[in-house]
Amino acid sequence: MGIAALQSNLLISGRLSDAQVGPACRLRAQRAFARPVCKAAAAQQDPAMGFKMMRKGIKEASADTVLTPRFYTTDFDEMERLFNLELNPHIDMAEIEACLREFRTDYNQTHFVRNDSFKSAADNVTGETRKIFIEFLERSCTAEFSGFLLYKELGRRLKKTNPAVAEIFSLMSRDEARHAGFINKAMGDFNLALDLGFLTKNRKYTFFKPKFIFYATYLSEKIGYWRYISIYRHLQRNPDCQLYPMFEYFENWCQDENRHGDFFTAILKTQPAMINDWQSRQWSKFFCLSVYVTMYLNDHQRDAFYSSLGMNTTQFNQHVIIETNNTTARIFPEVPDCETPEFWAHMDRLVVLNQKLAKIGSSDSPAWMKNLQKIPIFQQFAGELSALYFGKSIRSGTFDAQQQAQLVY
């Protein structure tokens, strides 16, 4: 599943009018993402690029931090109860069964076929650009593999209580495994790979209740769609910045992410209590902000990667977040208002604070001094996050789900 970096020279959907969108945000969203010239690569370095290695050719996974992709687990017994048709005969399966027909079609069955251009393109990516591209591949592979593990287990656990939902989760795990394998083979072009079996056994798992799993995975899939399609469209207009042929696969690839997100939309419609009370409004906004802030900070930490593709990191992120938020507003009962200058001012200040934390962390000061120096920054960080959470929001949601809730209750 991927997580993180969200929605100009990239194609603007035009769903909002100028009257609905603040002029400053509209101007930002309509600017071209492309920089005039793609950043040149540095000199060739050692293939391992200073990464820690488990063994020859196998990269040690990056350490867990607040911003790294996570592996998720949930209360599978509660999941079984939620989808049990005997306990919940009111569940409308029509939209879910329509999703199942889509997944069975497997539009991308023959899409992820590599060619000879991959290895030669990887050999031409050198220096610091090579290092940051490997980091991008690792994060992407980890996120996709995380989705595979979660969806596979859900598919296994729900077979008896709801075969249709179980089959969809199994087919989504097929998609995620395909994505993770494709990316891991790409890492092989850079003479590295991840030991995914080792990751399965040794990665820390984050527990979320089913409701929160639905919020988080919906956002992850939809933001993944907007990231992939936006990068693809940018590179189609700027072929000189096509760093590596994997990006040419993003147009069809992102449709997998979109279908996954649509399935979670259908799930949420069958669980009206998750999207129609005051608690769900607060949690919806919280998860939106968590995903948006994480992507914004992650991507700005890796500005060199987007520069290597000829992109402006800030404009790309603003576009992805705005489009993801517009999409999410169709089902979530409340979303933050991302169309105000104040929203982006808080986000930009978080970037600056995060850079200060990184600078302290990389210094030679003793650990106790680093912790002391970080305290006022953490306080400011908390203040900016609070301002975002208590800032302007938009009441939203789907009419279908609200109507269903009235019928059920």
**DSSP symbols for 235-258:** HHH-GGG--SGGGGGHHHHHHHHH
Residue 407 reports pLDDT greater than 50: no
58: left (phi over 0), alpha (psi -120 to 50) or beta: beta
pLDDT per residue as tens digits for the range 96-147 = 999 999 999 999 999 999 999 999 999 999 888 899 999 999 999 999 999 9
Q: Which residues contact 44 (CB under 8 A, 6 or more apart)?
A: 126, 127
* Rounded CA separation 173/185 (Å): 18
Q: How far is CA 368 from CA 75, 84, 363, 365, in A?
A: 38, 52, 12, 8
**Are 140 and 183 spatial neighbours (Cβ–Cβ below 8 Å)?**
yes
**Residue-wise pLDDT tens digits, 161-177:** 999 999 999 999 999 99
Say which residue, 364 or 15, is predicted with more confidence: 364
Q: Buried b / exposed e across 247-286, counting CB within 10 Å, b at 16+?
A: bbbbeebbbbbbbbbbbbbbbbbbbbebbbeeebbebbbe
Proportion of the chain in helix, strand, coil states, percent, rounded to 5 = 65, 5, 30
What count of Cα atoms within 13 Å lies in the side-chain half-sphere of residue 9?
18
The contacts of residue 220 (CB under 8 Å, 6+ apart) are: 1, 2, 3, 4, 143, 147, 291
Which of 41 and 377 is assigned the larger pLDDT? 377
Q: How many CA atoms lie within 13 A of 370 on its CB side?
A: 12
pLDDT at 71: 85
Find the mean pLDDT for residues 32-51: 49
Q: What is the predicted pLDDT for the residue at 409?
A: 31
Look at residue 33 in the predicted model and tell me its pLDDT: 52
CA dist 166 → 70, 75, 158 (Å): 23, 15, 5
Percent pLDDT > 70 in the chain is 84
Q: What is the pLDDT of residue 5?
A: 34
What's the pLDDT at 63? 66
pTM: 0.84
Average pLDDT over the chain, rounded to an integer: 86
H helices present in 210-340, as ranges: 210-237, 250-270, 278-301, 303-308, 313-328
pLDDT score for 201: 83
pLDDT of residue 404: 44
The predicted structure's pLDDT at residue 45: 38
- Under the banding of pLDDT at 50, 70 and 90, the label for residue 46 is very low
| Per-residue confidence (pLDDT) for residue 21, from 0 to 100 | 39
pLDDT one-digit tens code per residue, 255-288: 999 999 999 999 999 999 999 999 999 999 999 9
What is the structure's pLDDT at 335?
A: 97
pLDDT of res. 47: 47
User: Where residue 351 falls among pLDDT bands split at 50, 70, 90?
Assistant: very high
Cα-flanking dihedrals φ and ψ of residue 354, to 5°? Answer: -65, -35
**Which carries the bigger pLDDT value, residue 200 or residue 331?**
331
Centre a 10 Å sphere on the Cβ of residue 240 and count the other Cβ atoms it contains.
9
Separation CA 20–CA 182 (nearest Å): 41
Which has more pLDDT, 226 or 70?
226
pLDDT recorded at residue 142:
92
Q: How far is residue 203 CA from its own chain's centroid?
A: 19
Structure tokens at 234: 């940018």
